[in-house]
Amino acid sequence: MEEKKIIKVKSFRFDPQKDEKPYYDTFNVPISGKMSVQDCLVYIRENEDPSLAFFINCRLGFCRRCLIRVNGKSCFSCLTDAEDDIVVEPLIKDQVIRDLWSKDI
Amino acid sequence: MGEVEKLCDKVISTDLLIVGSEGAGGHAAIKAHSHGTSVLILTKGKIGQCGASQMAGVDFNVDGKTAKKLGFIGDDRDSPARFFEDLVREGLYLNNQKMVEKYVEYAPKAMKDLMDWGMRIYGYDSVHTEEMARGITSAGTYWVAAIRKKVKELKIPMLEDIMLIDLLIREGRIAGAIALNIKSGETILIKCKAIILATGGWHRAYSFHTGSYDLTGDGIGIAYRAGAELISMEMVQFCPITMVWPPKDRGSIALYVLSCIDPFDKYIQLVNNKGERFMEKYDPINLEKSTKEIVSIASELEVENGRGGPHGGIFFSLKHLRTKFIDAIIRIANNRIKNELKDTRYEFTTLIPELIKKCKTENIEVGNGAHYMGGGIKVNENTETTIPGLFAAGECSGGLWGAVRVASACTEVGVQGIIAGEVSPKYVKKVEQAEINENQVREILDRINKPLMRDEGITPNELTKKMHEISGKKVGLIKEGSLLKEATEELEEIINNDLKNLCITSTKSKELNDEWIKAIELRNLLTCLYLSAKSSLIREESRGEFYRRDYTYTDHDNWLKTIVMKQKNGELDIKFEKPVVTKISLPKGKLTYQEAIGVATASLKRE
Ligand SMILES: Cc1cc2nc3c(=O)[nH]c(=O)nc-3n(C[C@H](O)[C@H](O)[C@H](O)COP(=O)(O)OP(=O)(O)OC[C@H]3O[C@@H](n4cnc5c(N)ncnc54)[C@H](O)[C@@H]3O)c2cc1C
Ligand code: FES
């Protein structure tokens, strides 16, 4: 049987045009089957908050642009498994266009 | 600055605008630049890091004889003429033969360019053909890296993370384009004399596909709106053995690739949820090595009859092998990938060994992902569309393949990239910059801004779900008149109502507003899907990649014609055109689908 589990994804949020300073939002994401951090972000964008900004393109490690920080460590969001609660942040926090997309990726 | 220049946030001028930066667009840019034309590349991603090209296996095709001249082992029995014949025969005669001639002629040139630009090559193989070795193998990532390096070396100007929104037409010819910066939300007016569209496919009209996030049929939808003719929109290739589950691997064709490689191809079995090796029923002689089409259709029939997996696929299985044997396969694969080829791609270094290992204890759910778009913007052998100043190259174009994409698409995009890069500079020299139509600019800006201004309506996510529901259930691999009819009616309704009622409410911010970008892309995706459903409904036969269960014959007498569509006074105008013939005359008669594709052993009866 597939495990069904809910994890908490705590995401860095910041819209420099609107927000005075960054803040965090926490979303519940149901995990069924092995999911990447990017799958969780897609889930959030499709079901919880369509305004969440993050990078996605090839989903399989080819483009090497989906760099973010998961629990403080830099990684490719499409190649990183989401198994337990996580904190997601942009690669470079003081160079953010919006949310999880920092300028130079 | 005139009035019209003030409408957009930025104004840029160039002679030639190339939209799409990858196999087709990048190659075209390098060629056009070498003819002294002022070129600007516009791309929705970053060069070498977007589109389908980076994800390709990859293989290129050159006929065996000419391959020898390029320094490969080659095959003396082969010739350009033989390659041409194979492409037309296996394409089931719907090909534009002038385009096929150019494909064969330019294939070595495209290959030579890539070698000169330093693309690493793996080897020479019999990809796509059983009889003749015509395939030069590499990695998609090396391919696009070689193009990127050359483009940067030549300092060709580029606008990255910026998308084409619409073309500007004056007196029937190209005057420019409107683009949108995805990162900043700024609009850009681009004045130019000619445009090459190299925007790839429209994979995202399907929820299950093998492509990348930027493939939303923009070039095709945009060209159609501008009045260009489209061709063969019903020809969509699905890739069997695409990962269905788990979500992290969904859309990967790693196992399909593995199933094509010697010696792994010998050991792979496809089974249904009862553990039955179902290909024994559909094609007892060729089994899993039957054609891509038959394997796809057979898998689909199993699922339809309740013998599929929990997520809508069938299973890739190595359960018939002993654990020790599977370990040996992993060792061979690892050795080949890591030591011999020194491949660094995740799918190959990590995913494939992981999946094979998993096969020791479980089967892996796989299915048919939307993979390659055979139709598109109608071009002639010179990549000219029906709009003066508008060229199209690569997967967004149509006409080359006929009913089956039987050889390398990567060679296609290089060939057409070169041709577009040679032909468009000549056009640019002949014409003056046309004046921009201010009303057209206003209309376009107004249209894209509307969803941001609306507070009620349908959201892009809701509309995407509706679209995927239709594409998945009614415009999939096995087609049927009654379902296609429903699909076209539903899509008409969506295009006439929902599309005009899109609203973006989560944020009105213009920076990286994915919802807003989706709203813009949906217009193009829905256009492609609608036209594909419509031409599928019109084609009352089965041919190659196109399978209608209510018309299972390949009908040379009535259907050796292409379906050409364009927008005229806001209405869809449809006509039939005989394929362009140069050397091979069109056959007559009516064959069963299986006979026509050369698998007379396959049975595809509905239960
Ligand atoms: C997973 C996978 C594996 C494949 N493997 C093989 C293989 O082994 N052999 C083979 O022959 N073929 C293969 N194919 C098919 C082949 O890779 C493609 O047909 C080919 O690479 C397409 O090249 P292209 O340049 O036409 O388009 P793409 O490479 O898809 O590039 C499209 C470009 O257009 C840009 N773009 C799109 N819309 C816009 C817009 N609105 N504004 C600006 N830019 C835009 C994109 O960002 C991108 O730069 C594979 C395809 C996939 C998906
Ligand atoms: S999305 Fe391309 S590497 Fe992650």
User: Domain with A15 in it: what CATH number?
Assistant: 3.10.20.30
CB contact under 8 Å between A98 and B511, yes or no, is: yes
Q: What is the pLDDT of residues B200-227, one digit of tens each?
A: 999 999 999 999 999 999 999 999 999 9
pLDDT at position B607: 74
CB contact under 8 Å between B212 and A34, yes or no, is: no
Give me the amino acid identity at B242.
Answer: T
Alpha-carbon gap, residue B15 to B413, rounded angstroms: 22
> Which chain B residues have a beta carbon less than 8 Å from that of A52?
514
pLDDT at position B128: 53
SS3 (DSSP) at B68: helix
Please give the tally of structural domains in chain A: 1
Interface of A with B in 13-72 (CB under 8 A): 15, 17-18, 32-36, 39, 45-46, 49-53, 56-65
> Which chain B residues have a beta carbon less than 8 Å from that of A97?
183-184, 511-512
Q: How confident is the prediction for chain B on average, in pLDDT?
A: 96
pLDDT at position A105: 81
Rounded percentage of chain A residues whose pLDDT exceeds 70: 97
Domains and CATH numbers, chain B: 13-236+371-430 (3.50.50.60), 240-368 (3.90.700.10), 438-594 (1.20.58.100)
User: How many CB contacts within 8 angstroms connect chain A with chain B?
Assistant: 102
Residue B366: phi, psi to the nearest 5?
-130, 165
Q: What is the pLDDT of residues B464-517, one digit of tens each?
A: 999 999 999 999 999 999 999 999 999 999 999 999 999 999 999 999 999 999
What lies within 8 Å, CB to CB, of B508 at 6+ separation is B452
Chosen for mutation from A35, A36, A38, A57 (greatest number of chain B CBs closer than 10 Å) is A57
pLDDT at position B601: 79
Query: How far apart are the CA of B253 and the centre of ligand 2, in A?
Result: 15
The torsion of the CA quartet B223, B227, B231, B234, rounded to 10 degrees, works out to 80
For chain A, what's the residue count? 105
The pLDDT confidence band at residue B106, using thresholds 50, 70 and 90, is very high
The pLDDT confidence band at residue B2, using thresholds 50, 70 and 90, is confident
Alpha-carbon gap, residue B53 to B22, rounded angstroms: 6
Chain A CB within 8 Å of residue B50 CB: yes
For residue B432, pLDDT over 80 is answered with yes
DSSP B244-281: -SSGGGTT--HHHHHHHSTTGGGT-EEE-TT---THHH
For residue B129, pLDDT over 60 is answered with no
Element of type H or E holding B471: helix B460-474
DSSP B479-538: E-HHHHHHHHHHHHHHHHTGGGGB---S----TT-HHHHHHHHHHHHHHHHHHHHHHHHH
How large is the average pLDDT for residues B515-538?
A: 98
Pair B20, B199: CB distance under 8 Å: yes
For residue B270, pLDDT over 60 is answered with yes
Spell out a b/e string for A68-82, using b for 16 or more CB atoms within 10 Å of the CB, else e: bbbeeeeebbbbbeb
DSSP B356-424: HHHTTT--EEEEEEEEEE--EEE--TT-B-SSTTEEE-GGGEESSSTT---S-HHHHHHHHHHHHHHHH
pLDDT at position A2: 56
> Which chain B residues have a beta carbon less than 8 Å from that of A49?
506
Which of B391, B405, B398 is closest to B198 using CA atoms? B391
Q: What is the pLDDT of residues B545-589, one digit of tens each?
A: 999 999 999 999 999 999 999 999 999 999 999 999 999 999 999
How large is the average pLDDT for residues B244-265?
A: 94
The sign of the torsion formed by the CA atoms of B231, B233, B237, B242 equals: positive
Pair B114, B106: CB distance under 8 Å: no
Residue B182: phi, psi to the nearest 5?
-65, -35
Indicate the DSSP class of residue B185. -
DSSP B290-354: S-HHHHHHHHHHHHHTT-S-TTS-EEEE-TTS-HHHHHHHHHHHHIIIIIIS----HIIIIIHHH
For residue B12, pLDDT over 80 is answered with yes
How large is the average pLDDT for residues B113-125?
A: 94
Element of type H or E holding B232: none
The pLDDT confidence band at residue A1, using thresholds 50, 70 and 90, is very low
pLDDT at position B261: 87
ipTM: 0.97
Q: What is the pLDDT of residues B56-77, one digit of tens each?
A: 999 999 999 999 999 999 888 9
State the closest ligand 2 atom to the C-alpha of B49, by its place in the atom list counted from 1.
2
For residue B291, pLDDT over 60 is answered with yes
pLDDT at position B598: 86
Q: How many CA atoms lie within 13 A of B313 on its CB side?
A: 23
Domain that includes residue A77, residue range:
5-102
Interface of B with A in 289-328 (CB under 8 A): 310
Alpha helices in B15-163 (DSSP H): 23-34, 64-69, 80-90, 97-116, 140-153
Q: What is the pLDDT of residues A12-22, one digit of tens each?
A: 999 999 999 99
Question: Which residues on adjacent β-strands are paired with residue A30?
Answer: A6
How, if at all, do strands B162-170 and A96-98 pair? unpaired
Q: What is the pLDDT of residues A71-105, one digit of tens each?
A: 999 999 999 999 999 999 999 999 999 999 998 78
Pair B281, B602: CB distance under 8 Å: no
How large is the average pLDDT for residues A57-64?
A: 98
By CB neighbour count within 10 A (0-12 exposed, 13-18 middle, 19+ buried), where does B447 fall? middle
For residue B437, pLDDT over 70 is answered with yes
Ligand number nearest to the C-alpha of B214: 1
Both tokens assigned to A91: 């690669």
